[in-house]
Amino acid sequence: MLETLYRGLTHLAGPAVRRLLDRRAARGKEDPARRAERLGEPTLPRPAGRLVWLHAASVGESLAILPLVERLLAADTGAHALVTTGTVTSAALMAKRLPRRAMHQYVPVDLPGACRQFLDHWRPDLVLWVESEFWPNLLGEVRRRRLPCALVNARLSEASFRGWRRFPGAARRLLSGFRLALAQTDAEAARLRALGIADVRAVGNLKYSAEPLPADAGALAALREAVGERPVWVFASSHAGEEEVAAEAHARLAGILPDLLTLLVPRHPERGPEIAARLAGRGLAVARRAAQQSITPQIQVYVADTLGELGLFFRLAPVAAVGGSFVGIGGHNPIEPALLGSAVLYGPCMTNFAAIAEELEAEGGALRVADAAALAREVGRLLADGTARNARTAAAAAVAERNRRAVDRVLAALAPLLEEAGFARTAA
């Protein structure tokens, strides 16, 4: 009933959705040059042969599946991969990071016509849906076409689970197209079973299987020369409200570390000018990377408002605070700094990475801090105490290494679907 109602309403929603896309484009949240993709009109031809379609909502999910894409294509040299996402930032990252024979398109908005046109063109042989962004019309079209479909790296919070439980019939119908669900944890597997997916397995988190973030060697050498012997830390993937946390922590530390350099990497680089202006308004000397401004001895905060360079700054800074965790976003991937030798801190809200955070904290590989004052205290302690800093990075690296075979478990579980869709089997 709810699915029928939703489908009927979205049949009528075309004009409103187009206006919404226009408003988002005006705010830099859509790519005007590729607007057609959002309406189901492809801008690339479908390659001949087998095609696996992987849908990942945004940056974190798309980065997590890169090891899976690489392994699938390495095993089957005649296959191609289509990765869809919904954000400008993830599209730019995929343009840099996808391997040969993989391509990116924006996911179509959930209008019936757009979904049909998208699937008519791409005709995927296998569909892999990532984490927990469920679009009823798009998944409904996949189900009606009887396409082999699995949910991978599945994540479903307790709050989302309670919401779905209010509409059990709709949830069961929506999720019935998934032949298999591969959950990150046992708790999430149990929730997905309760919503009606029959074959659910907990295989771990693909984010553990990602390779360390890349960095340009020349750019890293130039940054190291500019920083010299100054104490330096990074606040990574910050959201609105967290730049103030970083600025307050810097101010508290500057009394004991007058030469301190704070690296600030906003999650959305287009916010760079606004962030720099606010920090300058607090009396801080600020430089912006996107404006090609240098790190001089007088600069206190360096805003790295570029895309795809986080690997540079985790390598540069011995201590990293992970953003999205001080303002209720749910946190970002703490494994990324851990793999590059940066001691990991984050705020109180890590719901997006609850299991990873719990394991890191239990092993001494990361620390959760309550606010800017606690952040400043811990950054100062780690910068001053190399032994404590090295112990934390070693513990985090051990946790990451212990979990790196998640992609092997995912591939093993997918083997029957891969075979059914005509793909070559992957080696473990």
Contacts 24+ apart (CB under 8 A), 90-98: 90/56, 90/57, 90/58, 90/59, 90/61, 90/62, 91/31, 91/34, 92/307, 92/308, 93/59, 93/62, 93/63, 93/307, 93/308, 94/62, 96/308, 97/63, 97/66, 97/308, 98/66, 98/69
Catalytic, out of 30, 61, 188, 336 = 61
Q: What dihedral do alpha carbons 354, 358, 364, 370 form, nearest 10°?
A: 60
Residue 328 structure tokens: 């209720």
Active site residue 61: yes
Q: Which residues are catalytic?
A: 61
